[in-house]
Structures are given as structure tokens and as C-alpha cells.
């Protein structure tokens, strides 16, 4: 009887040990491979958009107006709820979304996304990836948000 008890206990300890090792190994792997560089599921913008570059000089004023829209726009769901206050894609809604929102702090991924690609994605959205469209905003407002978004990877 006693022996069975000890065997069980030993088995429990072994399981616990195996589980903690698995967690230690797997957590960093999944966190790093998902976060940066980050896989992009959104398709490429039409050629006319891809070639566009921002008409703004990204002055401190543009960036600060872009920040206000990103953080607290009320016309539509503000970007911050998904892409997060730090731009890492971990907003309170972002953490539950699959695929996860873009991590704007990852320079390696962000440098592959042109101004025109961002502009198109924000204008039209990408329903398959739960990225909403912001076509209701003026073009200038979208470019200001882009100026701000670019600051996360600098
Ligand atoms: C409801 C959540 C949500 C909100 C709100 C949201 N996004 Fe996204 N966004 C996503 C998801 C999900 C993706 C898809 C990532 C992928 O490609 O796998 C994404 C992708 C992007 C991309 C990457 C495009 C590409 O081609 O890789 C950009 C840029 C972007 N969002 C900008 C914004 C901006 C700016 C706002 C606010 C104006 C915003 N998003 C609001 C969820 C959101």
C-alpha cells in the first residue's frame, strides 16, 4: 500500500518536473518566433497603393496628432485597443486575436511594409485578419497615424 503511494508521489513529481521543463523550453520559443520577425498574413496592396509615399514630412506636430488618433480616436475603434499602447500588438483586444495584430516595434518586419501598404490596409481593412478599415477618416489623418506608427520601431 505504502509503496504504491510513494510510487504515485514520485510519478507526480516527475510529471511536474517534465511539465516545467516543457514550459521553460516552449515559452521563449513561441514568444520570440511569433513576435519578431512576425509572420504577415495580410495580402499585398494593389500596385498603385504600393508605390505611394507619405506626403507628410512627419513633423513633431503630425506625429503628435497621429498619436492622439491612434490612442483615442472615437470615430472608429482606436488602434491602441489591438496594437497596444507600446505598439507591440498586445492591446487588451489584441492578445486574444489570431493571427495577432502587427507588432510595430519589430523593425525587421516593419521595414518590409511600405507607406502605401499601410495606407491601403488602414483604408480598406482586412476582415480575414480582424484588421478594421478606416476609410471614414481623411487621408491626411491616416498619414499622420502612419507617421506616429513608424516611431515605434525607431
Ligand atoms: C480589432 C483589432 C485591430 C484594430 C483596432 C487595428 N488593427 Fe491593425 N491589425 C490587426 C490585425 C489582426 C492585423 C493582422 C496581422 C497579420 O498580418 O497577421 C493588423 C495589421 C495591421 C498592419 C500591418 C499591415 C501589413 O501589411 O502587414 C498595420 C500597418 C495596421 N494593422 C495598422 C493599424 C492602425 C494604424 C490601426 C488604427 C487606425 C489599426 N491597425 C487598428 C488588428 C487591428
With respect to residue 1, please indicate whether it lies within any of the assigned structural domains.
yes
Residue numbers of the domain that contains 24:
1-35
- Return d(Cα 116, Cα 53) in angstroms, integer: 6
The verdict on 64 and 126 lying in the same domain is yes
Which is it for the CA torsion 102, 103, 109, 112, positive or negative?
Answer: positive
Pair (58, 9) in one structural domain: no
Helix 115-124 × helix 139-150 angle, to 10°: 130
Contact 89, 82 (CB under 8 A): yes
User: In b/e form, how buried is each residue of 26-39, taking b as 16+ CB within 10 angstroms?
Assistant: eeeeeeeeebbebe
| Dihedral sign computed on CA atoms, order 120, 103, 85, 67 | negative
- Alpha-carbon 106 to chain mean position: 9
Does 40 reside within a domain?
A: no
Answer whether 109's CB lies under 8 Å from 103's CB.
yes
Are 59 and 22 contained in the same domain?
A: no
Q: Determine the Cα–Cα distance for residues 80 and 132; give it in Å rounded to an integer.
A: 13
Whether residue 82 sits in one domain with residue 22: no
Distance CA 59, CA 43 (A): 30
Q: Which residues contact 92 (CB under 8 A, 6 or more apart)?
A: 81
Please tell me the predicted confidence (pLDDT) of residue 12: 60
Same-domain check for residues 6 and 59:
no
Residue 87 lies in a domain: yes
pLDDT in tens, 62-71: 999 999 999 9
Query: Is the CB–ligand 1 distance for residue 97 below 6 Å?
Result: yes
Helix (H, G, I), strand (E, B) or coil at 126: strand
Query: Cα of 29 to ligand 1 centre, how many Å?
Result: 24
Number of domains the chain is built from: 2
18 within a domain of the structure (yes/no):
yes
Q: How confident is the model at residue 11 (pLDDT cuts 50, 70, 90)?
A: low
From the CA of 41, give the closest atom in ligand 1: 17
Ligand 1 neighbourhood includes 142 CB (under 6 angstroms): no
Rounded distance, CA 39 to CA 102, Å?
Answer: 9
Q: pTM, whole model, 2 decimals?
A: 0.83
Span 84-131, pLDDT tens digits = 999 999 999 999 999 999 999 999 999 999 999 999 999 999 999 999
**What average pLDDT does the chain have?**
87
Asked if residue 42 belongs to a domain, the reply is: no
Q: Is 50 in the pocket of ligand 1 (CB under 6 A)?
A: no
- Ligand 1 binding pocket includes 132 (Cβ within 6 Å): yes
Instruction: Tell me if 45 CB under 6 Å of ligand 1.
Output: no
- The CATH number linked to 100 is 1.10.760.10
109 Cβ closer than 6 Å to some ligand 1 atom: no
Residue 8 and residue 27: Cα distance in Å, rounded? 28
- Domain assignment present for 103: yes
Q: Are residues 136 and 76 in the same domain?
A: yes
Amino acid at each position: 500500500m505504502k509503496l504504491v503511494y510513494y510510487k504515485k508521489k514520485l510519478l507526480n513529481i516527475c510529471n511536474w518536473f517534465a511539465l516545467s521543463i516543457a514550459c521553460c523550453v516552449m515559452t521563449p520559443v513561441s514568444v520570440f518566433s511569433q513576435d519578431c520577425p512576425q509572420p504577415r498574413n495580410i495580402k499585398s496592396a494593389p500596385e498603385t497603393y504600393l508605390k505611394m509615399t507619405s506626403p507628410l514630412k512627419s513633423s513633431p506636430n503630425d506625429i503628435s496628432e497621429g498619436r492622439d488618433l491612434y490612442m483615442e480616436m472615437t470615430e472608429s475603434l482606436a488602434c491602441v485597443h489591438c496594437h497596444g499602447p507600446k505598439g507591440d500588438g498586445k492591446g487588451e483586444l489584441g492578445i486574444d486575436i489570431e493571427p495577432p495584430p502587427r507588432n510595430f516595434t519589430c523593425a525587421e518586419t516593419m521595414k518590409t511594409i511600405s507607406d502605401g501598404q499601410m495606407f491601403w490596409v488602414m483604408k480598406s481593412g482586412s476582415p480575414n485578419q480582424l484588421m478594421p478599415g478606416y476609410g471614414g477618416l481623411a487621408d491626411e489623418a491616416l498619414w499622420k497615424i502612419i507617421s506616429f506608427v513608424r516611431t515605434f520601431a525607431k
